[in-house]
Structure 1
Amino acid sequence: MIQNSDCRNGQRGSCMNAFVSRISGARLIQITIDMWNSLFLIVIFFMVLGCFWKEKEQRSISDPIPLTKELLILCVAVFFYNILDAISLLCNGAVTGIGRIWKYIGEYGYFTTGIFLILFLMDTIRKSVSHGANARRTGIAVTVIQALQYCNLILLASNPFLRKLFIIDSSNCYSRVVPGYYIWSGINILSLLAAAVICALQFREMDKFRKQITVVSVGITLAGAVCNLFFYTISLHCICVSVITICLFMIYFRNRTEIMTENIYRIEKLRTSLILSQISPHFIHNSITAIIYYADKDTAKTKSALISFSKYLRKNLDFVNHNSLTSIEDEIEHAKIYLSLEELRFGEDLKVIFDLHTNTFKLPVLTIQPLVENAVKHGIKTSDTGCGTITIHSEADAEHYIITITDDGSGFDTDLLKHMDAAHTGIRSVKSRLSLFCRGTLTVESTLGKGTVCRITIPRSEEQYENTDNGR
């Protein structure tokens, strides 16, 4: 038994010696670097993915954080770039059938992923520089540069037949082919130099975030491409793209923190304006006066009015501290409570029509009631007759949910909305919260003497905002 164990240990030792002799020390260093890079990329990928899902759940921004999807794609691509390089190095000198197969997979996969990475980095640069007066021409120039990579793709696709880029010899070892490999590298360097010139011309027009992206993407990639021509032992491409990914992650995370901090400030500012817009001394005074008026005349009506008044105040206080979206049913119910109090003053002079065709979506809190209040105060009340009709209509098409609040009151000049002051805090707050929480919009159309139409449009997007027909 001891002799058999010694034999097995001796076999393992000889296999290990053969492996070490087949793979040089430089290749072992490269494999170790590739594995560590891959580990870092996995960590970065899941951190960015976590941020992405957190943003979707919180709905705390109107637009996605820039570079999120690009960084996720880049992590996956660079991960495979490192893995394929490691596979190729591990199979170097392995003359078995399976060794040759994996060697070919590693080398051709490595070069193919390299083309994809150059195209992807160019696309990221194009998005960063395609702004301002020369946006179209800049975009076309970067697209032309990207087209150069198709020359490399043709060179790679023809290599199994012509062997002009690299060869895998009988001992299953990789070797560059001159001048094919230098043509390949020359195209990459030329593309990156052209991209650097374009970025330099547009540099002043970029914001700080875009400047950092372009400097990292172009600068490090270009340095790696040039150095790899002369430094053959270690693959600087893998190291450079991994460093780029880590740097872009750091830039992304700092930018995300700044955006999220700004959004928290905006939400708090909107909450303050919401509180101010809902504390209406005139409405409270008028409601209490109307309730006192009916106290001796109609006890049942007085009791109902007090209950409605209590619900109205409670809803306002609850909604102010409500950060997420609420159902359209809750919003309609709150509007009905408000209108029931206004009907105490207006009586039959105020008519309300609810024409609801869909009631299973969500929207920011206190969206409908402020618009209904404006319709009463600035539409019906100020009309020539002092009476009128308010219609609340909801519908859905293939892409949007639409709520329309219409009154046939006095109307007004909509140009006044361009210079909204403290008196129009409600409209400004509704617009901001619709945009911030669900990418919704509010449009106001009005004609003097005929009335006003307020139209709320909310994207019907299950993917981002969980606004679905089943309300889940």
Structure 2
Amino acid sequence: MDQVNIAINLYSALICLILLFSMWLNGSTKEKSDRFFMGMCLFNIGMILGDIPAWAFEGHAQVWYPAALKIGSAVFWSSSAPLLLMLTGYILEYLPIWRNPRRILWRVACTLAAVYLLCSILSYWNGMFFTIGDGNTYQRGDWYWLSQLISFFFFGLDTTLILICWKEIRKRDALIISSYVLLAAVALLIQIFNYGIALINTGTAISILIIYINIQSQRELRMEQQKKELTEAQIGIMLSQIQPHFLYNTLTTIRQLCELNPRDAKDAISDFSRFLRANMDSLTNKAPIPFEQELTHVRHYLNLEQRRFGQRLHVVYEITARDFFIPPLTLQPIAENAVRHGILRRENGGTVTIRSEETELSYVVVVLDDGVGFSHIPAETDQGHIGIANVRKRLLTLCGGTLEFFSAPEKGSTVVMTIPKGGKDHEISDCR
């Protein structure tokens, strides 16, 4: 039976080790729930490694076996409290619980875990939870009941949280979360009354595996939803650039140029057709594109606006960095905002400056104007400020980049886009 228990423990440890490395290699440390999950894997491995000496060395009369058994038992007990705390932390993060109650419950859980951990460490010397008796045998201590009472308090707390939030989460999620607690609690209950069967570590490992499957499925769902939102954002940006008034004004300008300056009319038609083509291409191109390509698209747009408004609109290009990637239709809507809501609201017009530069850690793209400016930052949902929310979201998702907006009355506005070098590991793509 000892060999069976050792084999079960090793398989359980292998499962947790694989899941731990999988989460680590995927960079899944951003969310607290992911970190709690990795903690569960780590401390369950600690319990397993501490439990193996009990089955391998107990009852054998080698000189160093009692020390190995005692140290292993101390490791087992010392890992139990953090494991229970990680499980409760994961559930607190997963369920829709208000911040203040979550904070209070977390403090209660931390206090109980600290008491459990302290008693586990002291048991190495005073035998509260376990002792190593004559003949190198493992025995439960006089205060063993306290450890189990704290464990079931944790399980009761977790169950109560699930029941409180039962109506606010999907039944599938509620059942999966319940299985985490149920498997570990049942395994512990069986092992209390049937010492000699290594169930607690196996039950916990299965619970962790179920958590992992749920995390991965939820992550895949988020990826699909994110892709859908990005596609909708691209369509929204594209449509915002070819609104009827823009089409009408551009065609009117071209018609006038046909009579006054056919050569300029020809160039305007070329700019307009390439502008429309780039917008249409963006619907099927989700990946970042070379900055030079996006800059060319912006030039087509600004050329059209300069032909329409003449001396009221000046454009300055200060391009010192070109060799990087940027999401399509990222720069153009920012330039359009500068023209429509900055320059053209001044009677005498003004200048739009587009600047790119390279720093040690990132590429920076700046769009600034000397237009009317704003006394407060416009809301991203304001229809007059198209694309800002979408651009910020797509920069973050596709490149790990950021967008900052600065403005002051009569001093103009500045938009700064920062794209980190090397690309972060993102779920969809990155700007490399």
TM-score normalized by the length of structure 2: 0.78
> SS of the residue aligned with 2:196?
coil
Q: Which residue of 2 aligns with 1:260?
A: 223
How big is the shift at 1:245?
Answer: 0.5
> SS of the residue aligned with 1:285?
helix
Which runs of no fewer than 5 residues in structure 2 stay unpaired? Answer: none
Partners of 2:170 and 2:325 in 1: CA distance: 35
How big is the shift at 1:49?
Answer: 5.2
Q: 1:417 to 1:114 in 2, by over 3 A?
A: closer
Q: 1:268 to 1:149 in 2, by over 3 A?
A: same
Q: 1:382 to 1:183 in 2, by over 3 A?
A: closer
Query: Which moves more between the two structures, 301-310 or 76-85?
Result: 301-310
Q: Which amino acid aligns with 2:194?
A: F
1:342 corresponds to 2:305? yes
User: For each residue in 1:382-438, what CA deviation from the matched residue of structure 2 results, as whole angstroms up to 9, or x when unmatched?
Assistant: 5433x32223356799999765533344568989857645x7654454344235433
Q: 1:394 to 1:36 in 2, by over 3 A?
A: same
Q: Which residue of 2 aligns with 1:389?
A: 351
Partners of 2:183 and 2:308 in 1: CA distance: 72
Q: Which residue of 1 aligns with 2:16?
A: 41
Query: Which moves more between the two structures, 238-247 or 122-131?
Result: 122-131
Contact 2:337 2:385 survives alignment (8 Å) = no
1:237 corresponds to 2:200? yes
Q: Which residue of 2 aligns with 1:434?
A: 395
1:154 corresponds to 2:144? no
Q: Which residue of 1 aligns with 2:128?
A: 164
Contact 1:324 1:364 survives alignment (8 Å) = yes
Query: Which moves more between the two structures, 38-47 or 229-238?
Result: 38-47
User: For each residue in 1:237-273, what CA deviation from the matched residue of structure 2 results, as whole angstroms up to 9, or x when unmatched?
Assistant: 2122112102212321332232122122212222322
Query: Which moves more between the two structures, 74-83 or 197-206?
Result: 197-206
The structure 1 residue matched to 2:41, chosen from 75, 83, 93, is 75
Contact 1:406 1:451 survives alignment (8 Å) = no
Partners of 1:207 and 1:397 in 2: CA distance: 47
Partners of 1:395 and 1:209 in 2: CA distance: 50
Q: 1:77 to 1:163 in 2, by over 3 A?
A: closer
> SS of the residue aligned with 2:328?
coil
Q: Which residue of 2 aligns with 1:31?
A: 6
Partners of 2:18 and 2:257 in 1: CA distance: 63
1:322 corresponds to 2:285? yes
User: For each residue in 1:36-82, what CA deviation from the matched residue of structure 2 results, as whole angstroms up to 9, or x when unmatched?
Assistant: 323433454455456x35x9xxxxxxx96774443344334323433
Contact 1:414 1:444 survives alignment (8 Å) = no
Query: Which moves more between the two structures, 182-191 or 323-332?
Result: 323-332
The structure 2 residue matched to 1:176, chosen from 106, 121, 140, is 140
Q: 1:343 to 1:371 in 2, by over 3 A?
A: same
1:406 corresponds to 2:372? no
Contact 1:65 1:256 survives alignment (8 Å) = no
Q: Which residue of 2 aligns with 1:4?
A: none
The structure 1 residue matched to 2:91, chosen from 116, 125, 128, is 125
Q: Which residue of 1 aligns with 2:240?
A: 277
> SS of the residue aligned with 1:235?
coil
Identity of aligned residues (%): 21
Partners of 2:78 and 2:309 in 1: CA distance: 74
The structure 1 residue matched to 2:415, chosen from 428, 431, 455, is 455
Contact 1:130 1:139 survives alignment (8 Å) = no
Q: Which residue of 2 aligns with 1:376?
A: 339
Contact 2:374 2:407 survives alignment (8 Å) = no
Q: Which amino acid aligns with 1:389?
A: T
TM-score normalized by the length of structure 1: 0.73
Q: 1:318 to 1:446 in 2, by over 3 A?
A: farther
How big is the shift at 1:170?
Answer: 4.3
Partners of 1:197 and 1:377 in 2: CA distance: 56
1:48-67 to structure 2, matched below 5 A, reads 48=23, 52=26, 67=33
Bigger Rg over Cα: 1
RMSD: 4.1
Q: Which amino acid aligns with 1:171?
A: G
Q: How many residues align?
A: 424
